[in-house]
Structure 1
């Protein structure tokens, strides 16, 4: 399984660049299972949820599984608030 890392800050300002980086990495990976490690994520807004949803869509389109690990509790709460916590698998350590 391949591990990708989220940046420390993922707000509207960083979302486009972060999505570009993650989508390139997803596309290049030969593994069918990809894990995004969110442990380094410190500052974020709803853009982080949008980036993860798009990564999930891309992974599905490319026949890959996607899982997010080490999700900060505030990010998990935000996903639940917006009703998307069941779309992107958000897990703790």
Structure 2
């Protein structure tokens, strides 16, 4: 299953430079990395990133990671939450939006 992390331009630049990402301000506040499935991606972009430019959507390969938890969120849907930092090795690909 494809899972995605949305990065703002500064977050992406920091991730590329450091090789790891402990999280956005929202992630750090909540204690996990917010991810979305492919089916949830457009809703997440529209709800939390509307009107923003310079975004990077990264596909991450953590579906079988023990640090990944599926938890109830928006509208009662289960969302993937990663309870560890993202590493460069987790990336499967990315695109700029």
Q: TM-score range by the shorter chain?
A: under 0.3
Structure holding more helix per residue: 1
Question: What TM-score, normalized by structure 1, do the two folds share?
Answer: 0.28
Of the two structures, which has the highest relative contact order with CA contacts closer than 8 Å and spacing of 6 or more? 2
Question: What TM-score, normalized by structure 2, do the two folds share?
Answer: 0.27
Structure holding more strand per residue: 2
